[in-house]
Amino acid sequence: MTIQVGDSIPSVKVTLATAEGPKEVDAAAFFAGKTVVLFGVPGAFTPTCSAKHLPGFVQNEAALKAKGVDTIACIAVNDAFVMGAWGKDQAVGDKVTMIADGGAAFTKATGLEFDLTARGLGLRCQRFALVAKDGKVTHLAIEKPGEFEVSKAESVLAAL
């Protein structure tokens, strides 16, 4: 079942891509005690993700933080090295935390997976954005396949 507004962020292991290398954390602990905007993408270095989705959150970081957001994070079913390289390529700096969900544990636990095996991509994360306050989802926007509207930074800003 797909995560809903009012649900808690699941307690599963994810990996942060940090300057010091991969750092495993519990997702529920990562979200605890703060307001987090998390957006999910089908994959690092993919066209819409690289041209629009991630750059939009980097560009709107100050506006999101002005609305009370403590942390902006991006998650994909990629490993921490790929997420780290993508973050460097996109010059995210400390504006966006890059989260690797290499085994899709978070993606499956939230019901946000979709299967692109037929296209050679395997199990992926749907394109989405959510806001969680102290680990509870307060806003969730999941894109229809092939669309990019409800999960972009400007839409999240409007929802805050």
Residues in Cβ contact with 75 at an 8 Å cutoff, skipping those fewer than 6 apart:
14, 38, 39, 40, 41, 99, 100, 101, 106, 107, 125
Residue 146: predicted pLDDT: 86
Q: What is the pLDDT of residues 59-95, one digit of tens each?
A: 999 999 999 999 999 999 999 999 999 999 999 999 9
Tracing tokens 């994810």 back to the chain, one arrives at: 14
The architecture (CATH level 2) of 13-159 comes to: 3-Layer(aba) Sandwich (3.40)
Cα 135 to Cα 137: distance, rounded to the nearest angstrom: 7
Q: What is the pLDDT of residues 145-155, one digit of tens each?
A: 889 999 999 99
pLDDT band at residue 46 using 50, 70 and 90 as cut-offs: confident
Q: Taking the domains of the chain in order of start, what are their residue ranges? A: 13-159
Assess contact for 66 and 140: CB atoms under 8 A: no
| Segment holding 63, helix H or strand E | helix 61-66
Residue 133: predicted pLDDT: 98
Residue 16: predicted pLDDT: 97
Cα 54 to Cα 85: distance, rounded to the nearest angstrom: 13
Residue 122: predicted pLDDT: 72
Residue 98: predicted pLDDT: 98
Residues labelled as active-site residues:
49
